[in-house]
Amino acid sequence: MKRVLVLHTGGTISMTQGDSGGVGLSDKHPLGDKFLPLPKNIELVTEEIFNLPSPHITPKEMLILKERIEQAESQDFVGVVITHGTDTLEETAYFLELTLKNHLAMVLTGAMRSSNEIGSDGLYNFRQAIITASHESARDKGVLVVMNDEIHEARFVTKTHTTSVDTFRAPTFGPIGILSKNKPIFLKDVIEEEAYSIRTVDGTIPIVKAYAGMDGTLFHLLSETEIDGVIIEALGAGNLPPEVLPSLEKLLEKGVPVALVSRCSNGIAEDIYSYVGGGVELKRMGVMFVRGITGPKARLRLLVGLNAKLNKESLKHYMTEI
């Protein structure tokens, strides 16, 4: 028998639509009552570890999940399926990717339509996630996201549409695999990550999004506040309006780690431009350029690096060499 651990955390996949049209959490997990056609050699062990909409998930819940999955490897499971709300699914997936060292197949899935809506995608995604997690080829691939018959690696996947079932994409790099009716088919290798098995998730790390006409107000406020790091979603390839530079400099002088991603949904941040506020200057000032991931993921990466107690040089390496 292939034993798969199922961890339900909530989200639309755990919700039902009420008579007034509003979608909310159910006391009893709606997937539990549904007929789930699976190969006979798969045994599910199900735990409802949380029942939360995913905007209520924080790094604390992510850490609890990580600790539960750590135990699973010695409990004779071949894989783990985590059902999760889609709003922050990519963040939990990336946190687990950054913190878990194991060989299990680990798959997150969710739904865009609640359990009793017409064309509900929850049961189907759940089945496809289980098929993936029980398959030999999904082992040693880190944390995967299975939605709408695509397989994505945690690092690059992001929710791109508010309601469509075809919402999870990896804009620059594409999916790493697809699902046929009965098995996962991997098309690419995953990029291996060094995992830090942290035990705490302490730290305040705001994300600041750049915009045309931005001035120094936000960085000035941040330099007067107790924070542990800042992520900037910069313009284009990694540039900022010149007005922000003095207050950003103040923040950097205080020793606050500042990392930058692009606010574009495609491509990577780089130090290309040499004008005032361009990437060349920002890098020279000490801003760390993080390549190819979103602001919320860079934030989790910095949180993990800080809680792993990396020194300044190692933290810079961790944030920039990805």
Ligand X SMILES: NC(=O)C[C@H](N)C(=O)O
Positions marked active-site = 12, 86
Q: How far is the CB of 255 from ligand X (least distance, A)?
A: 36
Select from 30, 59, 79, 110 the one that contacts ligand X (CB under 6 A): 110
Measured distance CA(245)–CA(173) in Å, rounded: 32
Considering the rule CB under 6 A, would residue 112 count as an interface residue with ligand X? yes
Q: Are strands 15-17 and 23-25 parallel, antiparallel or unpaired?
A: antiparallel
Give the C-alpha separation, 65 to 87, whole Å.
17
54 interacts with ligand X by CB under 6 A:
yes
* Residues annotated in a binding site: 54, 86-87
Nearest residue to ligand X, scored by beta-carbon proximity: 85
Helices vs strands, H then E, count in the chain: 8, 16
Contacts of 181 (CB under 8 A, 6+ apart): none
Cβ closest to ligand X, residue 57 vs residue 201: 57
The dihedral region occupied by 113, where left means phi > 0, alpha psi between -120 and 50, and beta the remainder, is beta
Whose Cβ is closer to ligand X: residue 70's or residue 117's?
117
Residue 239 bridge partners (DSSP): 235
Task: Mark the segment that binds ligand X (CB under 6 A) among 27-35, 73-81, 104-112, 179-187.
Answer: 104-112
Binding-site residue set for substrate: 54, 86-87
87 belongs to the binding site for ligand X (CB under 6 A): yes
Provide the residue type at 71 as one letter. Answer: Q
Stretch that binds ligand X, among 97-105, 107-115, 241-249, 308-316 (CB under 6 A): 107-115
For residues 230, 231, 237 and 240, what is the CA-based torsion angle, rounded to 10 degrees? -40
Residue 30 sits in the site that holds ligand X (CB under 6 A): no
257 binds ligand X (CB under 6 A): no
Closest approach of Cβ 277 to ligand X, in Å? 36
Q: What is the DSSP letter of 320?
A: H
Q: How far is the CB of 145 from ligand X (least distance, A)?
A: 13
Are β-strands 184-186 and 177-179 bridged in parallel, bridged antiparallel, or unpaired? antiparallel
Bridge partners (DSSP) listed for residue 288: 259
Which token pair is 306? Answer: 């800080």
Residue 11 in contact with ligand X, rule: CB under 6 A: yes
Contact stretch for ligand X (CB under 6 A) within 83-91, 136-144, 239-247, 301-309: 83-91
The residue (of 12 and 247) whose beta carbon lies closer to ligand X is: 12
- Residue listed under structure tokens 């999870």: 168
By the rule CB under 6 A, 239 interacts with ligand X: no
12 lies in the site for ligand X, by CB under 6 A: yes
Residue with smaller CB distance to ligand X, 16 or 197: 16
**Cα distances (Å, whole numbers) of residue 137 to 131, 157, 260, 317:** 11, 20, 35, 31
Q: Please give the residue ranges that form the binding site for ligand X (CB under 6 A).
A: 11-12, 53-54, 85-87, 110-112
